Amino acid sequence: MKSVVLAIESSCDETAAAVLLGDRVLSNVVAGQDVHARYGGVVPELASRAHQGNIVPVVSEALRLSGMTLPDIDVVACTAGPGLMGALLVGTSFAKSLALALGKTLIGVNHMQGHILAHFIRAGEDQPVPSFPFLCLTVSGGHTQLVLVKGPLAMQVIGETLDDAAGEAFDKAAKLLGLPYPGGPQVDRLADLGEDSRFKFTQPKVPGLDFSFSGLKTSLLYQVKALERLQPNARTVHLNDICASYRKAVVDYLLAVTTRAMHQTGVRTLALAGGVSANRLLRAQLQEIAGREGWKLFIPPLAYCTDNAAMIGMAAAFLHESGISHGMDLKPMARMEY
Ligand code: KG4
Ligand code: ZN
């Protein structure tokens, strides 16, 4: 019997709820939080308050759209970490109360594991899913990781960023260029209109399979300042070319480290996860490399790449299958290992 999972995600600035029947998504509701835009980044206290306001309507809507009622639910799942403590507290407290009141199984999920297991959500029988082992490049606003996935619950981080995440590298560049938050999609859009060889960025040099993005951002700042000494409105005049050159630098760098990791591990399947998966150049370049190298490439639909609760439900289904559940002492964790 496939279990029905009601999942809640509240680790950052999206309040999300989803209902799954096995690996099928019956509903997937996400409420964003516009309140952060005017601060140019997520304000943790405002995120917690928005989650409190959103959680009841979002969960109700997910239930309504799924056609399920509370008694139909087998498992109540929530993101236990990593994330903003106040934001996680809203989701975990809500899930715990619901599971307790209904007498249902409670499962706390690692958000990063959720991003990876989103690849196993199926829209139909014939939809292929990655086979183990595979490598997952997770690129979001908070994380950049290369994870060797040996099984649904056997994951090993073999590389990660030592400073900014890939999404942060885009967001900080966008802020410097005067573009609204979150800037990743804006940089991507303007980059399509620009010339990517106009400005040069040296690739960061980090040993092993780790990443560092802070140097690229600093290099952008210095280049913009140098341009402005010659031409005060350079930032605006060269905006598209700057975006194109910077996007190329970030994507080339992500691909170089990922390719090294694929060669080192000998794995032939690559999966992409996290909000930066939306980047058009990254997707196109990955398709090209995968074709050349003969890798199988998996990129989930965008709705399952950015933060969502369906991925948390999918991870919970795997945990449930393995007999893992949590008690009322489940604690949210700002940092959480695999
Ligand atoms: O996974 P996600 O929705 O939330 C986090 O867990 O962080 O990722 C959001 C990040 C933001 O930094 C956003 O700027 C970036 O993904 N992003 C993009 C694009 N779309 C979203 N970065 C570059 N190009 C895009 N098209
Ligand atoms: Zn995320």
Give the number of other Cβ atoms within 10 Å of residue 179's Cβ.
Answer: 21
The CATH number of 4-123+304-321, from 3.10.20.30, 3.90.1580.10, 3.90.76.10, 3.30.420.40, is 3.30.420.40
Does residue 303's CB lie within 6 angstroms of at least one atom of ligand 1? no
Residue with the nearest Cα to atom 24 of ligand 1? 279
Q: Rounded to whole angstroms, how far apart are CA atoms 127 and 29? A: 22
Which ligand approaches the C-alpha of residue 168 most closely?
Answer: 1
Whole-number Å distance, alpha carbon 213 to ligand 1 midpoint, is: 15
> For ligand 1, is residue 141 a contact (CB within 6 Å)?
yes
Tell whether ligand 1 has an atom less than 6 A from the beta carbon of residue 86.
no
In this prediction, residues 88-96 reach a mean pLDDT of 98
Residue 306 alpha carbon, nearest atom of ligand 1: 3
Q: What percentage of the chain exceeds 90 in pLDDT?
A: 88
pLDDT at 337: 86
Nearest atom in ligand 1 to 274's CA: 1
Instruction: Pick the closest to residue 6 from 98, 114, 115 (CA basis).
Output: 98
Q: Using CA atoms of 338, 209, 244, 186 in order, give the dihedral in degrees to the nearest 10.
A: 10
Q: 274 C-alpha to center of ligand 1: Å?
A: 7
Q: How far, in Å, is the centroid of ligand 2 from the Cα of 152?
A: 18
Contact of 90 with 44, CB cutoff 8 Å: no
CATH 3.30.420.40 domain position(s) in the chain: 4-123+304-321, 134-300
**In this predicted model, what pLDDT tens digit does every residue of 173-213 receive, in sequence order?**
999 999 988 899 999 999 999 999 999 998 999 999 999 99
CATH 3.30.420.40 corresponds to the domain 134-300? yes
pLDDT digits (tens, 9 = 90+) for 237-286: 999 999 999 999 999 999 999 999 999 999 999 999 999 999 999 999 99
pLDDT in tens, 277-334: 999 999 999 999 999 999 999 999 999 999 999 999 999 999 999 999 999 999 999 9
- Ligand in nearest proximity to the CA of 276: 1
Return the ligand 1 atom nearest residue 142 CA.
7
Mean pLDDT for the chain overall: 95
Give the per-residue pLDDT at 19.
98
